[in-house]
Amino acid sequence: MSHNPERKPSASYGAGVWYNVEMASEIDRLKREFLEYLEIEKGSARKTLENYEHYLNRFFERAKIKTPADITDSAVREFRLWLNRQPGNKKKDLKETMSKKTQNYHLIALRIFLKYLGKRDIESMSADRIELAKIPERSIDLITEEELVRLLEAPKGNDIKTLRDKAILEFLFSTGLRVSELCSLPRDINPASLELSVRGKGGKVRVVFISERARTALKKYLDARKDMGEGLFVRLETREVAPQVKHKKYTGKEYGNLDRQSVERIVRHYAIKAGIAKKVTPHVIRHCFATDLLSNGADIRSVQAMLGHSNIATTQIYTHVTDKALREIHKRFHNKK
């Protein structure tokens, strides 16, 4: 099938849709330029671009937006009402209607788009007029110190898979890495190194620190590897690989790095083995990393830097469960009659 030379790829990231310049509305053209701006100027991740496009498309289609002038208070208000009446993801959050957090994702995308229009002096609604919905204060999923110890000690054995899994658990707790950051680590890490530079959200580089336990576990795992794979934590069994490569003989390179779901399964497996009834994920271990630092006297700015949080408000959620001073005051002065 031949393509019309006047047709160009749309900004539908990953969708493979073709974009007809003549048929596109003004708002479609501006949306495409906005997404290209985020990709090139801001270095936004592909997933971020896909999400922003999805949220904007939803608003434009629902509110019948064709030009920037069509974005009005009433159009946004009607869209917010519509969002608030949409069914939620029952499998994930058991909510009857769309969560306030998900609703806010739509509004954040629109607000950033309006700020972009303002920078280009394109007349439209002011981004400042969009207020986000209030959401309940975020709760933190934690396990106790004793449960954490049991989790870290759950992998027992000297086979390569057990050594890998032990290194993963120790590395997660030592560094506080996001699971996506862990999965992208290269193999050429010096097991004796005390620190490591990682590229996190938004392409920002930060330094994380490797404990003695994590270094020991990592060295044992790397010493046991015989493959030539370039990733640090790679798939080792047929059941860990994608269906399209299951027929291949393992060399490491074909199977590649573990993905998020694989690491989540590994953590869940050892949590069950350790007798922990709560749901344990790599992010729970990241929470444990942060609360451990704060509980032992680390300042919040340092913890923010180690976690790679761009906003300190994100880090402050941990202070609610780590304030030893308040706990001591309560113990000393409560109910002393």
Best CA proximity match to 142, nearest among 287, 309, 292: 287
Catalytic residues: 178, 201, 283, 286, 309, 318
Predicted local confidence at residue 52, as pLDDT: 96
Predicted local confidence at residue 328, as pLDDT: 63
Predicted local confidence at residue 91, as pLDDT: 54
Record the pTM: 0.63
d(CA 118, CA 120): 5
Q: How many Å is the maximal CA-CA distance in the chain? A: 88
> What is the DSSP secondary structure assignment for residue 241, as one 8-state letter?
S
Strands 205-209 and 7-9: unpaired
The structure tokens 């974009």 sit at 19
Question: Which parts of the chain have pLDDT scores under 50?
Answer: 1-11, 14-22, 93-94, 242, 244-254
| 27-51 pLDDT, tens digit each | 999 999 999 999 998 888 788 899 9
Q: Which domains does the chain have, with CATH numbers?
A: 7-129 (no CATH), 145-328 (1.10.443.10)
The structure tokens 């020991």 sit at 216
Return the bridge partners of 205, or none. Answer: 199
